[in-house]
Chain A
């Protein structure tokens, strides 16, 4: 089983809202990732957690705040987003940071 579950599937929010994206895996993977993907572009890495510690932050604006409460869960907290932040947000996990990444189906975010 290589399932990564993301919720919600779709999210519409205003620029003053606070919302969270959630990602869950039960494969015992110790690395988890957030990516942002705009239409017709490849996924762009945002954050990497390795053994529940943030190991990479790709200069992402502070309006995006990741959290890894335990080895199975990854959250992305959103606050004061801009319309240009509208995109597909993808979560992935891997056994560790050197192995195959398995992706969730994504959350389609629209910021109005």
Chain B
């Protein structure tokens, strides 16, 4: 059975304090590992897709990495505007290609 677990559930950082969010997964036939950002009351915003172990992608202060068992979202020198819930999702083999984790709520304090 496909599973995805995100940790920590919540994270508070001082502005400029770098950290990482974890997404651990088990899946038969990975068709991508997706990262989304969601602001309160808004829809998820696509950030990255990773398809194979060793792959890395970057966007501004965010860098996503992938191994065979987990993905990390590294946040370098975060700013208050990076505060949001970060969701990872598995791409499976069925017609529904997204299976979401429970998310990490990030708060960056000025």
Contacts and interface: CB of A to CB of B under 8 A. Distances in A.
B95 A50 contact: yes
B96 A56 contact: yes
B101 A42 contact: yes
Given A2-B46, A103-B36, 19 more contacts: A4-B43, A6-B43, A40-B105, A43-B100, A45-B96, A45-B98, A48-B95, A56-B94, A56-B96, A88-B41, A90-B44, A100-B34, A101-B46, A101-B98, A103-B44, A103-B45, A103-B46, A105-B43, A106-B42
A55 B94 CA distance: 10
**List of 8 A-B pairs having minimum Cβ-Cβ separation, nearest first:** A103-B43, A42-B100, A97-B95, A55-B95, A103-B44, A106-B43, A105-B43, A90-B43
B31 A48 contact: no
Given A42-B102, A43-B100, A98-B31, A104 B43 contact: yes
B41 A100 contact: no
A13 B1 CA distance: 38
A4 B101 CA distance: 23
Interface of B: 31, 34, 36, 41-46, 49, 87, 91, 94-98, 100-103, 105
Interface residues of A, number: 28
Could you say which of A40, A56, A104, A108 has the most chain B C-beta atoms within 10 Å of its C-beta?
Answer: A40
A34 B101 CA distance: 17
Given A42-B87, A50-B95, A94-B97, A100 B49 contact: yes
A104 B68 CA distance: 31
